[in-house]
């Protein structure tokens, strides 16, 4: 009896998240699952009714829209239907996706505990050299890199103290008074945030994130992925607002190793390793 795997994303199969869905879709197709796309509302009763014809499991893209359009997770789990949340990965986001049983960042299952992971130096070095380039850059000049966030980001709205970039800039202007600061807007941010006259504004398309991090002496953000990349690259950073970086700031090497283990490259055809990291779910591989 075939397992039905439902992939839920408001952008649909051909939408903006297509490249990140690719390894998940191909994995379950190769595993002979009945893979269904859902780009509209998911009804709890419909999914439970479908489970009468065979095993059903659901993977939904992270975000407030999906949560509003999404069937009740607690009811599905009580009915024995596994649910996973999908979101872009970390190192870097462009090429990776990851899955979680509970949510993303501040709502991730990793907020409670980190798995016992042996940090492999060769894996760390491979990721750094492949995606973040050589470390032969100018030495940090003492400036602070302040990173903006996408204002529609669910974690920013729910778990950060400053819901807008402008409010965050006002906070940073007080915190870093008299210090050289570089402001890096989020790639998806269109508005021009007003920054202090002595700050430097460097758009994301003028400098790679690796160069931006390595040239700074300190990185500061609310719950941006850039904080995790700073940890990977060994640059001191601080987060405000709830999230994985702040939760595990005392053992960032362990956190980075756990995240590397979980993320899935967009060209992967088999994601058994990532599914095996997810405890408490009987997900059909």
Residue corresponding to tokens 């967009």: 266
Mapping DSSP to helix (H, G, I), strand (E, B) and coil, where does residue 211 land? helix
158, 268: one domain:
no
d(CA 173, CA 146): 10
The DSSP symbol for 164 reads S
d(CA 54, CA 52) in angstroms, rounded, equals: 6
Q: Are 140 and 209 in a shared domain?
A: yes
Task: Using only the alpha carbons of the chain, give its radius of gyration.
Answer: 20
Please report whether residue 114 resides in a domain: no
Residue at 141 is within a domain? yes
On whether both 25 and 127 belong to a single domain, the answer is no
Asked whether residue 211 is assigned to any structural domain, the reply reads: yes
Residue 238 sits in the same domain as residue 143: yes
Q: Do 210 and 186 fall within a single domain?
A: yes
Q: Are residues 130 and 237 in the same domain?
A: yes
Question: Do 81 and 157 belong together in one domain?
Answer: no
Q: Examine the pLDDT at 206 and tell me if it is beyond 70.
A: yes
103 in any annotated domain:
no
Residue 243, sorted as left (phi over 0), alpha (psi -120 to 50) or beta, turns out to be: left
Q: Which domain holds residue 28?
A: 4-89+264-276
* pLDDT above 70 (res 70): no
Which has more pLDDT, 112 or 203? Answer: 112
Task: Give the predicted TM-score (pTM) of the model.
Answer: 0.89
Q: DSSP strand E in the chain: where?
A: 4-8, 34-38, 56-61, 83-88, 96-100, 144-147, 181-184, 200-201, 218-221, 237-239, 264-265
pLDDT, tens only, 254-277: 999 999 989 999 999 889 988 888
pLDDT at 145 over 80: yes
Residue 203 gets the label, from left (phi > 0), alpha (psi -120 to 50) or beta, of beta
Query: pLDDT tens digit string along 3-39?
Result: 999 998 876 655 678 899 999 999 999 999 999 988 7
Look at residue 43 and tell me if it is in a domain.
yes
Query: Is residue 55 one of the residues assigned to a domain?
Result: yes
Tell me, yes or no, whether 169 and 47 share the same domain: no
81 and 175: one domain?
no
Q: What is the DSSP letter of 105?
A: G
In this structure, are 142 and 234 located in the same domain? yes
What's the total number of domains in the chain?
2
Rounded to 5, what percent of the chain is helix, strand, coil? 40, 15, 45
Q: Are residues 252 and 127 in the same domain?
A: yes
How far apart (Å, rounded) are the C-alpha atoms in residues 196 and 200? 9
Residue 18 in domain: yes
My answer on whether 60 and 148 are in the same domain is no
Do the domain assignments include residue 208? yes
DSSP state of 104: S
Rounded percentage of the chain residues whose pLDDT exceeds 90: 56
> What CATH number corresponds to the domain at position 57?
3.40.50
């Amino acid at each position: 009896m075939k397992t039905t795997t439902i992939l839920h994303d408001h952008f649909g199969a051909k939408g903006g998240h297509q490249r990140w869905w690719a390894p998940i879709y191909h994995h379950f197709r190769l595993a002979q699952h009945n893979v269904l796309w859902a780009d509209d509302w998911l009804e709890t009763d419909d999914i439970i009714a479908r489970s009468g014809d065979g095993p059903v499991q659901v993977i939904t893209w992270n975000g407030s829209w999906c949560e509003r359009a999404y069937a009740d997770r607690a009811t599905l789990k009580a009915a024995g239907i596994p649910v996973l949340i999908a979101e872009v990965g970390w190192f870097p986001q462009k090429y990776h996706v990851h899955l979680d049983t509970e949510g993303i960042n501040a709502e991730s299952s990793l907020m409670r505990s980190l798995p016992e992971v042996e940090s492999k130096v060769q894996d760390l070095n491979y990721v750094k050299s492949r995606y973040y380039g050589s470390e032969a850059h100018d030495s940090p000049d003492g400036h602070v890199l302040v990173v903006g966030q996408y204002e529609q980001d669910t974690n920013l709205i729910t778990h950060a103290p400053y819901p807008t970039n402008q409010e965050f800039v006002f906070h940073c202007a007080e915190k870093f008074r008299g210090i050289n600061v570089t402001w890096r807007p989020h790639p998806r941010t269109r508005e021009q945030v007003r920054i202090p006259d002595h700050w430097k504004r460097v758009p994301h398309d003028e400098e790679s994130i690796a160069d931006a991090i390595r040239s700074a002496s300190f990185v500061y953000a609310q719950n941006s992925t850039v904080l995790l990349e700073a940890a990977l690259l060994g640059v001191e950073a601080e987060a405000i607002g709830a999230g994985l970086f702040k939760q595990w700031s005392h053992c960032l090497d362990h956190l980075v190793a756990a995240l590397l283990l979980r993320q899935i490259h967009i060209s992967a055809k088999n994601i058994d390793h990532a599914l095996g990291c997810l405890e408490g779910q009987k997900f059909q591989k």
